Structure 1
Amino acid sequence: MNKSLLVGAVLGAVGVTAGGAVATYNVVTAPQYAEVLAVKPINETIRTPREVCNEVTVTRQAPVKDQHKIAGTAIGAVVGGLLGNQVGGGNGKKLATVAGAVGGGYAGNKVQENMQAKDTYTTTETRCNTVTDTSEKLVGYNVKYELDGKVAQVRMANDPGQRIPVRDGQLVLAD
């Protein structure tokens, strides 16, 4: 056999063996992937309270100056007594005067009471209440995946797409 042929054959065999070893290494250590079966976004409801104020027109009763309605009672008694005095004569006139004064006093009291109840004023007030605004915030994803024939689930910060990289049998969840 020719020496150069023998050296060529040995070098060729070494080259093929080395190439096979490199190819086998790449196949064994080539990145694997878990297949994503479902992705469900996880939202958190955020509640933010805030105060809302409005100007409101309010009608109030005016402060009563004569709480016991003395003026109305007195004026009513005087007017009723004068009118009662115009009726009858003698003791009947005295009785009519007293009855007129009592009735007039009561009527004057009630007239003043009604007038005070209708004595109102209008003002504007600021009224505030708390309302709660709600919003949704995406906080992550629940990902269902299949790896080596087993189905599992993991929470991820980002949507992984159709597959998740696997290194040494473990999911690679961060870059």
Structure 2
Amino acid sequence: MNASMMKGVAVGGIAMVVLGAGAVGGYKTLAAPKQAQVVAVKDVFETVSTPQEQCEKVAVQHRAPVRDEKRVAGSVVGAIAGGLLGSTVGGGNGKTLATVAGAAAGGYAGNQVQKGMQERDVVTTTERRCHTVQLKSQRLVGYDVTYRLGSQEGVVRTAVRPGATLPVKDGVVVTADSAPASS
């Protein structure tokens, strides 16, 4: 055998090995599964907090406005009543003294009675009071999909609920929006 024949046999052998390896790889690609079986689908929610203003009407009591701040009316009525009552006691100068003392005591008592009435005199009004509350709600953010590809299981998160299978490309599950789920 000459040298060029030996080269031809060697090149031919290498070509056969390369073609054979390509055929095995092509067969593996043809034999690889095209779909993964969906085993379970779990809805994934997140809690959303939304601020909202809540208002209510509240009855509020205020002290009524005072018209007679010096309480003159109470003092005058008390003095008249005290003077009349004092004039019924005693006679002569004692009667005059009793009338003056009765008027003074009655004036003071009338003043204090009017003061107590003014402090207890209230006006009820309705006020609107508002505060912010946080409303909690659940929002669907996706689906954690457990799948079986051959003898392996895996999980991906999808935005849409999948059917019974997921597509596979080059041995990997493919979804347009898939991302590995956090476990």
TM-score normalised by the chain length of structure 1: 0.66
2:30 partner SS: helix
Aligned pairs for 1:10-159 (under 5 A) are 28=30, 32-54=34-56, 60-90=62-92, 92-117=94-119, 119-121=121-123, 123-159=125-161
1:153 Cα offset (Å) = 1.8
Deviation by residue 1:1-49 (Cα, 9 ceiling, x = unmatched): xxxxxxxxxxxxxxxxxxxx8xx75971665222222111112233322
Stretch of structure 1 that moved more, 33-42 or 104-113? 104-113
Percent identity between the two aligned chains: 54
1:58 Cα offset (Å) = 5.0
Structure 2 unaligned regions, length at least 5: 1-22, 178-183
**Number of matched residues?**
153
Map of 1:162 onto structure 2: 164
Counterpart Cα distance in 2 of 1:85 and 1:59: 43
1:108 Cα offset (Å) = 0.9
1:117 Cα offset (Å) = 4.5
Counterpart Cα distance in 2 of 1:118 and 1:96: 33
Structure 1 unaligned regions, length at least 5: 1-20
Map of 1:17 onto structure 2: none
Counterpart Cα distance in 2 of 1:157 and 1:66: 75
Residues 149 and 68 (structure 1), Cα distance of their counterparts in 2 relative to 1, 3 Å cut = farther
2:154 partner SS: strand
Q: CA RMSD in A?
A: 3.2
1:138 partner SS: strand
Query: CA contact under 8 A between 2:55 and 2:129: conserved in structure 1?
Result: yes
TM-score normalised by the chain length of structure 2: 0.64
Query: CA contact under 8 A between 1:31 and 1:165: conserved in structure 2?
Result: no
